[in-house]
Amino acid sequence: MKPHVILNSAMTLDGKIATRTGSSEISGPEDLLRVHQLRRKLDAIMVGVNTVLEDDPRLTVHKFQPDESDSSLREFDNPLRVITDSKARTPLNSRVLNQEAGTLIAVSQKAPGERVKALRDKGGNVDVILAGEARVDLAILMDELAQRGVRSLLLEGGSTLNFSMLQAGLVDEVRVCIAPMIAGGVGAKTLAGGEGVDYMKDAFKLELKKSYKLGKDFILEYEVLK
Ligand SMILES: NC(=O)c1ccc[n+]([C@@H]2O[C@H](COP(=O)([O-])OP(=O)(O)OC[C@H]3O[C@@H](n4cnc5c(N)ncnc54)[C@H](OP(=O)(O)O)[C@@H]3O)[C@@H](O)[C@H]2O)c1
């Protein structure tokens, strides 16, 4: 069992999701609104711990006031926030641990007990689960989320987690916002990092379903072929 997973990312024309210094203000206001509208409809949002460490995101719906009569909206305001964090490195003062939404931190057996305890001690809205030995096992995590009633999940990066999720065959859709910018930089993170595939024949194959201009940006929506 697993949720339906949509990988969503903003990138430059050369595929960078951040500069080499970690700056990641890429898309325009219209795209930020699109992402928050999507967040309001899905059950969970997931990011890797490096995104928490570098960007300190809130991962909530706060860019618009939804029309509550819209039947495609979820019952509650904010989706569950999910962090893959093998060694429980999420800082205790990070914004994903605030009271605005529930947060589930997936750790591995490598996580120091005192770090796990400190996260658990944060209180009612923070949950820590063990999934995997050295690193978070994403298939186990997806199964656990599905069992908790998460039917849809927005994967919001970063580069390393995006690749792992694709490699594990856990991504169903990819939606990208391409901003009219080129950042360059060999060290700048791209849409999918990790090990990468050795040959193009092994690349993850997609089928374009929709494309449109949004403000100054361009949106592409793909289905992942399996
Ligand atoms: N433009 C955008 O839309 C966008 C969106 C999000 C992020 N970003 C940018 O992306 C950058 C961060 O990306 P990143 O690649 O460095 O990190 P990341 O993908 O955010 O986090 C990766 C970390 O997640 C943890 N993890 C746990 N289990 C994992 C697994 N099975 N597979 C992969 N990772 C796992 C690992 O740390 P442990 O080993 O400690 O667990 C890993 O190093 C930031 O600069 C951020 O600004 C951009």
Cα 68 to ligand 1 centre (Å): 33
- Indicate which residue's Cα is closest to atom 19 of ligand 1: 158
CATH number at residue 60: 3.40.430.10
Cα 107 to ligand 1 centre (Å): 14
Q: How confident is the model at residue 72 (pLDDT cuts 50, 70, 90)?
A: confident
Chain center to CA of 73: 19
Written in H, E and C, the secondary structure of 95-140 is HHHCCCCCEEEEECCCCCHHHHHHHHCCCCCEEEEECCCCCCCHHH
Q: What pLDDT was estimated at residue 124?
A: 79
Task: Say if 8 falls within a structural domain.
Answer: yes
- In testing the pocket of ligand 1, which one of 26, 81, 161 has its CB within 8 Å of the most ligand atoms? 161
Task: Say if 169 falls within a structural domain.
Answer: yes
Task: Say if 70 falls within a structural domain.
Answer: no
How many distinct structural domains can be found in the chain?
Answer: 1
Q: Is 24 in the pocket of ligand 1 (CB under 6 A)?
A: yes
pLDDT in tens, 142-187: 999 999 999 999 999 999 999 999 999 999 999 999 999 999 999 9
Burial label for 146, CB within 10 Å (0-12, 13-18, 19+), is middle
* 154 and 38 Cβ atoms separated by less than 8 Å: yes
Task: Say if 177 falls within a structural domain.
Answer: yes
Q: How confident is the model at residue 63 (pLDDT cuts 50, 70, 90)?
A: confident
pLDDT in tens, 114-135: 999 999 998 779 999 999 999 9
CA angle at 190 for the pair 128 and 2, rounded to the nearest 5°? 40
Range of the domain at 149: 4-65+75-224
Task: Say if 15 falls within a structural domain.
Answer: yes
* 6 and 153 Cβ atoms separated by less than 8 Å: yes
